[in-house]
Structure 1
Amino acid sequence: MGFKTLPGTVYLFGHIKSNFMGKEMMAIIVKRLYEKTSEPFIGFYALMRPILLIRDPELIRHILIKDFSHFQDRGVYVNEKDDPLSGHLVALAGEKWKGLRAKLTPTFTSGKLKGMFSTLVACGSNLQNYLDKLAEKSELLDVQEIAASHATNVIASVSFGIDVDAITDPNTDFRKYGRKMFSPNIQNSLRLILLTCAPKLMKFLHIKCVSADVENFVLSIVKQNLEYREMNNVTRNDFFQLLIQLRNTGSVESDGHDSTIKSNENQKTLTVNEMAAQSYIFFAAGFETSSSTLAFCLFELARNPEIQNRAFDEISRVLEDHGGEITYDAVSEMKFLEQCID
């Protein structure tokens, strides 16, 4: 289309051969391409797909704000018919995306997050008890595995409404399929690259966004949980409860009114597959990000005891002001701890 394009493209692979071969992260490649020019925007190729790399802040502002109606689609793989878990908020396009985003936005108000906070504290208690036992024996700990197990507990509870303890039982299904989802193997790497760089090819080759057993696990968990809650009128303060509300009423109730209301099958505004897709992306987006952040944070605190002591003192002081209870408001006041995590 006549746009200036960076040199160094390789036939079939474009500019991302090192990523395709598993040698470099995409972020590193994009950073290098960004630094190779001073142009306001520049073209490059990801496999055969032409991509425009925007460098000018004013152009970025227009794309993300003023002209967003022209740029709202991410252009990644989605195939709701044959691959139900691909139909999530991150991948959907056009009016379907806009409608679902409008429905899901109220699920992340501060009131809703406060309501879920007791679930996070309960998961934190499992982690604390486990670490206390290790500390008593002065045992070495695998922080990455512990952080991943803790993240699994949180997401299983908040996103799927199921209590698991992957810390003491590392072979629980949620941990097993979480490992499988993020295992750095050839299949997962290929999926990730095709998902963003060649979505049409992925659809043509009938490659799904996850392996068949992961898909079956997510779909079955969502169906079983939905049936159980509706049959027994069970209500929980979690993300899954809000999905049930969306399915049955078409909207999320105001804070403090999280009931399980049944409706006629013809009135359903969210299918079971759509619920499963949102739960899956909640798992996929929240698991590795949260566990890696926690692991790196703990590692840096261990290397810098003076910063660890400052964080500890702040936690002690704030909890004392809140009667020793870990609450949503108490954690919000821990500004230095937030800096450590950031």
Structure 2
Amino acid sequence: MEYWLILLSIVIGALSIHYLFKNYNFFKRHNIIHIPCVPMLGNMTSIVFRRISLADFICKIYNFNPDAKYFGCYAMTMPIFLLRDPEIIKSVFVKNFEAFPDRLGFSDLNEPLLVNNLFSLHGQKWRDVRTLLSPSFTSSKMKMMFALMSECAMDFANFLSTIPVEKSDMDMKDAFTKYTTDVIATCAYGIKINSMKDPTNKFYVYGKEATNIFGFKFLFLRTFPTLGRIFNVKLINNHVSDFFKDIIRNTIATRDAENITRSDMIQLMMDIRGKEGRRELDIDDMTAQAFIFFFGGFDTTSTAMCFAAHELAVNPDIQNKLRQEIDKILDESNGEVTYEIINRFEYLDLVINETLRLYPPIGVLERLCDKSYELPPALPGEKPFTMEKGMTVWIPVYAIHHDAKYYDDPEKFCPERFLDNKMYHNSPCYLPFGLGPRMCIANRFAMLEVKVLLFHLLARCELKPCAKTMLPIKFTKKGTIMPENGFWLNVQRRSSESCP
């Protein structure tokens, strides 16, 4: 009996070693330039042990070989093709989209809220859901949502403008996530809340819990998804998942019972029920779509607002110039702010575009190869390489946005560089929302949300650095592109407001 146990242990050990180390000679076997790695952790050692910030890590691997169009690296046990060449990036995102239609996303996790949403869906199911949700973000829908956003932004700005001087130093991330929570609650879920006045509401509390998932557990589950499924390891607690599911279920039941119709995401998903030739979404599907909308807006949009506010505070000349534009347009419109008027702001657009360049919402984009695709030689004199189904590419957005080859003085916050916006429109060197058919579906919503917030905030308040403001910004080593000690600023009521 002992011999069988010994033999079984040897077999299990051999299979485990094969599983863990089978990919580590991939690039060497195919004679592809690659970054040397260590077993198990690949090239992620410095990230796993928090020796380096995510932003610095992206730039470090990007600059491994500046002459190469691409090279290999390892995300834990997974071989990754890191693309540097703009033409290849454009080919992957646009020209040959059919060869790279999907993201890895959260598709291999044991998490219905993350697996079933548009971000993670693959193939025809992604196309069906994308087609279904796209009408949520047309100009007519944005115009209707503008009024809801403005109401949230006015409540937010009014609250900040009345804060006592002794409490005017604040963490802007905490403040802005409350605003984005209110916006998404009303625009996507049809629920009116005020998180600044009531920060203990479940929507905000559970939202913070649900979006705080990026850590060692996340890395482990992405590396060993099978183990995660076997042991039923989850990133989001059941009470949080149940909360969001109950909101969708109760909203649908109430609207059906009382014949209520709203122009929001839930209504679009409800309206396809019973229509011939249309695939209905069940309650889990609906919850997942609404949740990813919340997930993206809660975290990435609020972070973009934080970086914009930071740069305006530490660059008072830019803040003054933007405030002058706000005051001028308000004066010309007699204080009436409409969807058409908010889109007339030119300098506000420049400020937001430059914020998204300097601090892109997603530091690295990924795509999965779905069919054979030939990469050109990485360096002169080398051979092309044919990628096969299942292989993964990374596009290091943060590093590209900070490359002096594409942007003069890339570390400087300079909104005027976007005066010639045609230069960056559909450019593979400017990718805050991605590019091509799979770019962020809610990019117009996010841009409008940031515009409305900055407009109302600067019409009433002035942003200044405070004792806790980090100058220059030093990014945390906890795996996100965030300052080490948060986004602390001083917010004061303007001496002469120009309120809408």
User: In which range does the TM-score fall when normalised by the shorter chain?
Assistant: 0.7 to 0.9
Paired letter, 2:343: S
Q: Following the alignment from structure 1 to structure 2, what is the Cα–Cα distance between the partners of residues 81 and 209?
A: 8
Counterpart CA distance in 1 for 2:50 and 2:188 is 31
Q: Using a 3 Å threshold, how does the CA distance of structure 1 residues 314 and 291 change in structure 2: closer, same or farther?
A: same
The change in CA–CA distance for 1:242 and 1:141 in structure 2 (over 3 A counts) is: farther
1:222 aligned partner: 248
Provide the residue aligned with 1:300 in structure 2: 311
Other-structure match for 2:472: none
| 2:266 is the alignment partner of 1:240 | yes
Normalized per residue, the structure richer in helix is: 1
Letter in 1 for 2:117: H
Report the CA distance between 1:182 and its aligned residue: 3.3
1:118 Cα offset (Å): 0.9
Cα distance change, pair 7–309 in 1 and its aligned pair in 2 (3 A): closer
The answer to whether residue 365 in structure 2 is matched with residue 339 in structure 1 is no
User: Are residues 1:59 and 2:88 paired?
Assistant: yes
Output the amino acid matched with 1:4. I
Query: 1:201 Cα deviation (Å)?
Result: 4.7
Say if 1:79 and 1:86, in contact at 8 Å, map to a contact too: yes
Range 118-127 or range 196-205, more displaced: 196-205
Match of 1:174 in 2: 203
In the other structure, the counterpart of 1:48 is 77
Give the one of 196, 209, 215 matched to 1:189: 215
Residue type matched to 1:7 in 2?
I
Partner residue, 2:338: 327
Query: What does 1:244-259 align with in structure 2 at a 5 Å threshold?
Result: 244-247=270-273, 249=275
Counterpart CA distance in 1 for 2:63 and 2:109 is 38
| Conservation of the 8 A alpha-carbon contact between 1:77 and 1:203 | no
Instruction: Report matched runs for 1:1-342 at 5 Å.
Output: 1=26, 2-37=30-65, 38-78=67-107, 83-134=112-163, 137=165, 139-142=167-170, 143-183=172-212, 188-194=214-220, 197-247=223-273, 249=275, 269-342=280-353
Q: Which runs of 5+ in 2 are unaligned?
A: 1-25, 354-500
Q: What is residue 418 of structure 2 aligned with on the other side?
A: none
Largest Rg, 1 or 2 = 2
Distance (Å, rounded) in 2 between the aligned partners of 1:101 and 1:190: 31
Q: Which residue identity is paired with 2:308?
A: C
Identity among equivalent positions (%) equals 29
* Aligned AA (1:12): M
* Corresponding residue pairs, total: 323
Q: Bigger relative contact order, structure 1 or 2, given CA contacts below 8 A and separation 6+?
A: 2
Aligned to 1:256: none
1:337 and 1:71 map into 2 onto residues whose CA distance is 34
Task: Read off the aligned partner of 1:310 and give its amino acid letter.
Answer: K
Q: Is the 8 A contact 1:16 1:26 kept in 2?
A: no
Quote the Cα distance in structure 2 between the aligned partners of 1:231 and 1:82. Answer: 31
| Contact 1:87 1:277 survives alignment (8 Å) | yes
Give the Cα–Cα distance (whole angstroms) in 2 for the partners of residues 331 and 179 of structure 1: 29
Tell me, in whole angstroms, the C-alpha distance in 2 between the residues paired with 1:114 and 1:248. 29
Query: Letter of the aligned partner of 1:109 in structure 2?
Result: T
CA pair 202-114 structure 1, distance change in 2 beyond 3 A:
farther
User: Amino acid of the residue matched to residue 75 of structure 1?
Assistant: L
Could you give the per-residue CA deviations for residues 21-67 of structure 1, whole angstroms, max 9, x where no partner exists? 34444453232112111222211111111111112222222211222
User: Using the alignment, how far apart are the partners of 2:126 and 2:250 within structure 1?
Assistant: 26
Q: TM-score, normalised by structure 2?
A: 0.60
Query: 1:262 maps to which residue?
Result: none
Cα distance in structure 2, aligned partners of 1:296 and 1:123: 20
Query: Compared with structure 1, are the counterparts of its residues 36 and 120 closer, same or farther at alpha carbon in structure 2 (3 Å cutoff)?
Result: same
Deviates more, 1:44-53 or 1:61-70: 61-70
**Cα RMSD, aligned residues only:** 2.5
Q: What CA distance in whole angstroms lies between the structure 2 residues aligned with 1:24 and 1:36?
A: 16
Paired AA for residue 234 in structure 2: K
Contact 1:77 1:195 in 2 (8 A): no
Between Structure 1 and Structure 2, the one with more strand by share is: 2
Q: CA deviation at 1:138?
A: 6.2
Amino acid at match of 1:54: L
Aligned to 2:215, the other structure's residue is in SS state helix
Determine the C-alpha separation between the residues in 2 that align with 1:4 and 1:93: 28
Measured against aligned partners, the alpha-carbon deviations of 1:42-94 in whole angstroms (never above 9, x if no partner) come to 11111111111112222222211222112111123326997244200110111
Q: Give the 3-state SS of the residue equivalent to 1:72 in structure 2.
A: coil
1-structure distance, mates of 2:126, 2:252: 23
Q: 81-90 or 221-230, which moves further after superposition?
A: 81-90
Give the TM-score, by structure 1 length: 0.85
Distance 1:303 1:279 in 2: 36
Residues 1:138 and 1:200: Cα distance change in structure 2 (over 3 Å): same
